[in-house]
Structure 1
Amino acid sequence: MYPDWPRSREDLVPLPQCDGPKLNPFKFDGNPSIEFLDYLGEGLHAHVFKVRMDNQIYALKLFRFLYDDAWMGPPDYESTADPEDRELMSAFYDYSEPFNCECRAFGRLQEAGHEDLSIQAPGRMEMRSRFLGRDGRVPPIRGIVKEFGHAPEEEDVQPADFRKILHDIPLFQQLGIFYLDVAARQIVSGKFSDLSTAITVPHFVITPELNPQLTPDMREALETETFRLTLDDYRTFDEVVDDWNQRHADQKGAVSVRAFPGGSGTPKLRTRVSRGQSAQDRVFTFIGT
């Protein structure tokens, strides 16, 4: 489930070990040490530090070991799925666990030559101890090294920053990366910085070939879910603009950038009924040019 402690440099392989894009291990030019300079903050998935490595300043994101109901997986679509079934959950781990999500998204940006779009790079069972390594040790803490950038205060985000976000969303989606957790806090030095929820193809939601046991109804449900999630990037963008305007428009002026002309929100879902079939949702997506 998690990378084991390396015994040699040969064990430092690109992660995650599943089909699709991967992120290479950090290569130290000199002494392989990390100097922690400052604690920058935390989120649901990780802690972020300002560090010095190889005489350069980086942001180091160290990931938590989340309980598996925080992942996108079978319980989201099938109420009888048992999250304690390790064999079942391991099939989804590679595509849903936040560290893997971020590695795969950054890996896709690197292989496509679009690293400019993003900063590179109680009462519950303690997840880390569930998956011991070959020597009975808990897995090592996983982290991603990123360039160190400037994160403006929310009130200092400019209309140009919102235009940049809206410009970049379709670029990510064209690269097969969506469900971006769009927010003003995402922007560091004008780029997306947090991709720990991102879906990157191939992925079990958008690539039904990964599971040949899917029924036609399941495939249709996942196709609809794909459209919902891609559309959500734009819907969330408008919600972020609305929230910013409510908080700061009186002092900073209103932001007029919108994903959907005429106001925030998405077109309402419509229901279609085919002869002999129950009503099903139709979903519309946003086409960027």
Structure 2
Amino acid sequence: MNDLVKTNRRRLSSSELPPPSCEGPRLRAFQYRDKPIEWMGMLDDSPEISSSSRQGYVFKVKVHSKIYALKVFKFFKPTTYRWHLGPEDGRKVSDDTLEFNTDPFYAECRAYGRLQETRRKQGLKRRDFAHCHGFLALNKKDAAYIEEDLGIELWDVPPSDEYRRRAEGSPIRAIVKEFIASDPVIDSRTLAKMIKGLGWMNKHGVLVWDIHARNYRGGILVDFGSAWTRPHCLWDALPEDQKKDVHLSDRARFQDMADDLGLEDDTRAVANIDYKMKLRPRKDKSYPR
């Protein structure tokens, strides 16, 4: 077992992630991470999501007599977004920092860590996002079920890739979330609650980025795999004149989603959003989608 695999195993056996070397919030380990998992089916088999664009796969599972949604993450190459930093900032940021800020697994750990702790401190009961119960590493039996029985490929880089060769054998990462059984149709009242919740998340340093109807269940956000939780190395590297546009990009994407749902007039009246022309996110892939 090489050093990188040992490091990844050690991290996933810890009580919180990301590790203390990463500035910012953390997520606790799942209380029952050593209990058997009963697999009850895949939840996100939508044909609109290609295998190459997936961050992971979500399953309905039972652990310790309770039903959960379990998101199993793909492996992620830490340097994927280094080019966003440019030549100067790119030399200043370590691979570990890039990984803890941009890997979808760690992105969810940091976002949930920030939002759940903030909600607890504020004593809020409003439900804007699915509750997260913590992270875990799949054992060998469950890993074999995912990769061999289901035939799921968790790597998007070829076997010859140097990072993959060093990281293969690392544990498969997963995050345990509440299972939301029903998915009511989103109407104007639900949409108003959703934009209010999104504004609260942005206010507390979480930019979601990936705003789509498929990432909500009954108006509750269930996916933070693309989130930037400040402090964040890509945010810190942005020129000051771009930070305002990026900060407002969630609301522009929310407006796009409302338009797609045929509720653009309702959400504009409720949320007073007038970003569609002024703040439309750039199409040049300057930022992760």
TM-score (norm 1): 0.69
Identity fraction in percent: 26
| Offset, 1:203 | 1.2
8 Å contact kept, 1:238–1:260: no
TM-score (norm 2): 0.69
Q: Verify: 1:26 aligned to 2:37, yes or no.
A: no
Q: Which gives a bigger RCO, structure 1 or 2 (Cα 8 Å, sep 6+)?
A: 2
8 Å contact kept, 2:26–2:113: yes
Question: What are structure 1's unaligned runs of at least 5 residues?
Answer: 209-218, 270-289
CA distance in 1, matches of 2:15, 2:274: 49
Report the secondary structure of 1:12's partner residue.
coil
CA RMSD, 1 decimal: 3.4
1:166-191, Cα deviation, whole Å (9 max, x unpaired): 11111001111113412222222431
| Cross-structure match for 1:152 | 183
Report the secondary structure of 2:44's partner residue.
strand
Question: What are structure 2's unaligned runs of at least 5 residues?
Answer: 133-154, 282-289
Report the secondary structure of 2:176's partner residue.
strand
| Offset, 1:131 | 3.8
Corresponding residue to 2:59 among 49, 53, 62: 49
Report the secondary structure of 1:76's partner residue.
helix
Map of 1:258-273 to 2, 5 A cutoff?
A: 258=268, 259=271, 261=273, 264-267=276-279
Letter in 1 for 2:232: H
| Cross-structure match for 1:284 | none
Distance change (3 Å), C-alpha of 1:119 and 1:268: closer
Q: Verify: 1:243 aligned to 2:253, yes or no.
A: no
Distance change (3 Å), C-alpha of 1:140 and 1:235: same
CA distance in 2, matches of 1:267, 1:47: 32
CA distance in 2, matches of 1:66, 1:268: 29
CA distance in 1, matches of 2:243, 2:195: 19
Larger Rg: 1
Aligned residues: 236
| Cross-structure match for 2:105 | 99
Runs of 4+ in 1 over 4 A off after TM superposition: 79-82, 259-263
8 Å contact kept, 1:238–1:265: no
| Cross-structure match for 1:193 | 222
CA distance in 2, matches of 1:51, 1:194: 17
Map of 1:63-142 to 2, 5 A cutoff?
A: 63-68=73-78, 71=80, 73-78=81-86, 88-112=94-118, 113=120, 116-121=127-132, 124-126=157-159, 129-132=164-167, 138-142=169-173
